[in-house]
Structure 1
Amino acid sequence: MTHATSLPPELHQWVTRHLTGMDTAAVTDASWPRGASRVWRVRTDHGEVFVKLYPSTEKYEREVQGCEHATRALAADEAPRLLASDPDRPAVVLSALPGRVVRGLPLEQAEEQRVHRLAGGLLRRWHDTPEPIGDREHQRIRASVTAQADEAAVILERLGDQLAPAERNLVRDAAHNLPDLARALPLAYRHGDYSPRNWLWDEAAGHHSLIDFEESAPGLAVEDLVWLCGAAWPTRPDLRDAFLTGYGQLLSSTEQRALVLLTARLGVSYLSTGLTKADTVLIDRGRTVLQHMVRAPR
């Protein structure tokens, strides 16, 4: 997807009301290739900000609420500040943070372990800062887990013959047991996309920070570990150890089992979507995740 490297006129006018120096601003498209939201880096004589335009009011509201949670949970330089917001567009202006996105950075092993340890500590503070979870949110969380279990069951019925026996058993376990397991798991305000693409690392200062809150919402705390469990930890147990050291506690047996099943559900979803769309990247990703989860301790 190709986005314009200038702000849409109406959005530019709105941003101008909140920022000075827009006449000489340098605008760079900073959107993720596969993302639905549009993001621009705006450099003015007075500093740098990010402007984000959302595909839905729900994404916008989650970003705003995530920023508010971050002000309570994290230090001021660990998350962007919300400088302006408009639910009618829906769009926000966010402060910029020092550092570069961790995903893809050529880090030495010791430095990468340090980043993951700091990321674990940051997530623990994020999770430990409470937010009210009402009846509607509890219902949404239960419905989300049930939907994931149902998806696993549907895919198993459709693609079971394309899975190895151990993979079929794992997906069947997810379909049958995730809803019951979820009842015993701790809830927290989740980041929702806790992965190195949303971590910033300032090497000179040794500083770690967090961005992108449009998936944040109350949910199962262990769901924030799914990407790491499926993509990073299977081949880098040292990063798992570093992260959990920073997090400050090991996973319980119930959390570990649920994490493996949630990750397996994601893997088989990748596989199903990849086969439907003939997307070899998703097919390979799905098969790799399933193979890793078969070998993961439960």
Structure 2
Amino acid sequence: MTHAASLPLDLHQWVARHVTGMDTAAVTDASWPRGDSRVWRVRADHGEVFVKLYPSTEKYEREVKGCEHATRALAAGEAPRLLARTPQLPAVVLSALPGRVVRGLPLEQAEEQNVHRLAGSLLRRWHDTPEPISDLEHQRIMAAVTAQADEAAMILDRIGDQLSPAEQDLVRSAAHNLPRLAQSLPLAYRHGDYSPRNWLWDPEPTPGHHGLIDFEESAPGLAVEDLVWLCGAAWPTRPDLRDAFLTGYDRPLSSTEQHALVLLTARLGVSYLNTGLTKTDTVLMDRGRTVLEHMVRALH
């Protein structure tokens, strides 16, 4: 829920120089309850804008690069426009988009399927718009996948006795096979957090308008990584949404991509479980166990 909030003084002074007719009495906190970025909705002469303050220069730079990528990849109104930026704070001012955040919206089944189909179409255009990937960047991508594999191996050693034999085999496969599979997987500029909390939906224009926000995790990587959240949280219980999304994406996943997707999602699930056990967090424990159970079934 949003509530009235004032901008920090230095941020307020910078925004006032870049946003005409800024209404200081109409500033609301639009931050997620978790996460370390801070977001405000600000009313101005030409409508609403969003102001984001980042915890690191890296996240700021990713947001800026993501906005620039979106301008090339997506249609007008599908992503925020970058209205102002400053690396010194670091902060940006972004245009507002129509619609509401999809997560938690009460959608009828057919409408929800349409949202996921449009989300698939948008991601395909996002992925198909190339960004140069240097040799150093390619090495970083492969090192990141190896780090995920190493994490799976470490967790298996730590909590293997908490897993069923089939789950142990699955996590062991992730540890052993992900680096090899990654060598032959398509690379793309990833959104990095492609899930309904970053999708916007406006049902008014037929067949509806889908938008995308939040680019601070965007970076080159494995294209299939953008499907991990959906594979773990949405598709196991809603195969209709998987079908709708992949219809929109309009490219079948290769057998290698499907295998890697299951292993990447299993790695995430066992990471949830490990963190949940470490912190005695039952929500994370349940989430991790559910993901692992679903991924075991996905391989059979």
What corresponds to 2:291 in structure 1? 289
Superposed displacement of residue 50, structure 1? 0.4
Superposed displacement of residue 45, structure 1? 3.7
Superposed displacement of residue 22, structure 1? 2.0
Distance in 2 (CA, whole Å) between partners of 1:226 and 1:132 is 23
Superposed displacement of residue 23, structure 1? 4.4
TM-score, with length taken from structure 1: 0.98
Question: How much is the aligned-residue C-alpha RMSD, in angstroms?
Answer: 1.3
What corresponds to 1:229 in structure 2? 231
Identity score, percent: 86
Provide Cα deviations, 1:228-279, integer angstroms capped at 9, x if missing partner: 0000000000000000000001111000000000000000001111111111
Superposed displacement of residue 46, structure 1? 2.7
What corresponds to 1:38 in structure 2? 38
TM-score, with length taken from structure 2: 0.97
- Runs (4+) of structure 1 moved beyond 3 Å? none
How many residue pairs align between the two structures?
297
Contact 1:42 1:48 in 2 (8 A): yes
Aligned pairs for 1:35-114 (under 5 A) are 35-114=35-114
Aligned equivalent of 1:264, options 263, 266, 273: 266
What corresponds to 2:126 in structure 1? 126
What corresponds to 2:212 in structure 1? 210
Q: Which amino acid aligns with 2:279?
A: K
Aligned partner of residue 180 in structure 1, secondary structure: helix
What corresponds to 2:189 in structure 1? 189
Distance in 2 (CA, whole Å) between partners of 1:89 and 1:118 is 35
Contact 2:82 2:94 in 1 (8 A): yes
What corresponds to 1:175 in structure 2? 175
Distance in 1 (CA, whole Å) between partners of 2:41 and 2:275 is 32
What corresponds to 1:12 in structure 2? 12
Q: Which amino acid aligns with 1:250?
A: P
In structure 1, stretches of 5+ residues that fail to align are none
What corresponds to 1:248 in structure 2? 250
Superposed displacement of residue 4, structure 1? 7.7
Provide Cα deviations, 1:161-186, integer angstroms capped at 9, x if missing partner: 00011100000000000000000100
